[in-house]
């Protein structure tokens, strides 16, 4: 069995494991994974997911078992630094996805896309093809299927012989789905990308670069979609802040 040669030791924040990797370090690992056919589940952790994992023990178990866990969210980076845990930079899921797609086009890796609504994934594929006409897209489909259809979907993915699988579903659905079927599908680099397909086709707009740099992407999403995002950001951010303050007050060891 092959193993990853990670350049940095994994840290732990509120019981959640995180690899303090940069974007370039993560891309280098992705290439190693694909070249060596190492079956790997990649996942990102943001504040909302970290808070969710405090109560959802199954999600926590699955995420912590993943081979690469990036910090997607400036709140995670800042929160870790409060306790002396160094995460050099945020690795946003959508940015990593786009970089891996670019890598796949250069290296002629085979890619499968799963997730989002039908019209979204179709539009996303059109856009990706226009940007990378030589990219080997070996399959794609929407993310709306029943439990009884899972076997059929995963067989199609396995038969595609893809090197990379991007799954655009919400949490915890995508993490649990991938954990359940990763060894059946036999795809080396498997990555959950949440709503990245929607962002890619501008169905959901992303924050301006300056807001991303300041760690305010969550605030942009909140003011853009207040009815849908208020609970995710206002509630979970408040809970996360309280977790940090409480740990600092009682001197709790975090990592």
Q: Is residue 135 assigned to a domain?
A: yes
Has residue 38 been placed in a domain? yes
Those residues with Cβ within 8 angstroms of residue 198's Cβ, 6 or more apart along the chain or in another chain: 116, 120, 168, 204
Enclosing domain of residue 34: 12-195
List the structure tokens of 4.
């990853």
For 65-113, write each residue's pLDDT tens digit.
999 999 998 889 999 998 999 999 999 999 999 999 999 999 999 999 9
User: Is residue 97 included in any domain, yes or no?
Assistant: yes
How many domains, the chain?
1
pLDDT of residue 8: 87
- Give the whole-angstrom CA distance, residue 188 versus residue 161: 10
- Give domain status of residue 18, yes or no: yes
In a domain, 127, yes or no: yes
CA torsion, ordered 247, 45, 11, 27, to nearest 10 deg: -160
- The CATH number assigned to the domain holding 140 equals 3.40.50
Q: Is residue 236 part of a domain?
A: no
Q: Does 217 fall in a domain? A: no
Domain membership flag for residue 206: no
Which range, of 20-34, 84-98, 106-120, 217-231, averages the lowest pLDDT? 217-231
What is the three-class DSSP state of 216? coil
């Amino acid at each position: 069995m092959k193993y990853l040669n990670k350049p940095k030791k994994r840290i732990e924040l509120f019981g959640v494991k995180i690899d303090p990797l940069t974007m370039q370090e993560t891309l280098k690992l992705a290439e190693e994974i694909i070249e060596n056919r190492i079956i790997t589940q990649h996942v990102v952790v943001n504040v909302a997911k970290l808070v969710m994992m405090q109560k959802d023990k199954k999600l926590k178990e699955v995420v912590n078992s993943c081979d690469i866990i990036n910090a997607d969210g400036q709140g995670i980076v800042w929160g870790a630094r409060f306790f002396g845990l160094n995460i050099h930079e945020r690795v946003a899921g959508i940015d990593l996805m786009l970089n891996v797609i670019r890598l796949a086009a250069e290296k002629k890796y085979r890619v499968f896309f799963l997730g989002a609504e039908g019209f979204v994934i179709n539009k996303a594929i059109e856009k990706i093809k226009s940007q990378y006409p030589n990219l080997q897209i070996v399959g794609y489909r929407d993310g709306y299927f029943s439990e009884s259809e899972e076997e059929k979907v995963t067989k199609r993915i396995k038969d595609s012989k893809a090197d990379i699988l991007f799954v655009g579903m919400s949490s915890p659905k995508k993490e649990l789905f991938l954990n359940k079927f990763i060894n059946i599908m036999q795809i080396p680099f498997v990555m959950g990308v949440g709503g990245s397909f929607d962002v890619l086709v501008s169905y959901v707009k992303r924050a301006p670069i300056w807001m991303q740099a300041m760690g305010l992407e969550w605030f942009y999403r909140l003011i853009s979609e207040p009815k849908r995002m208020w609970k995710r950001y206002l509630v979970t951010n408040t809970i996360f802040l309280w977790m940090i303050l409480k740990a600092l007050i009682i001197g709790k060891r975090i990592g």
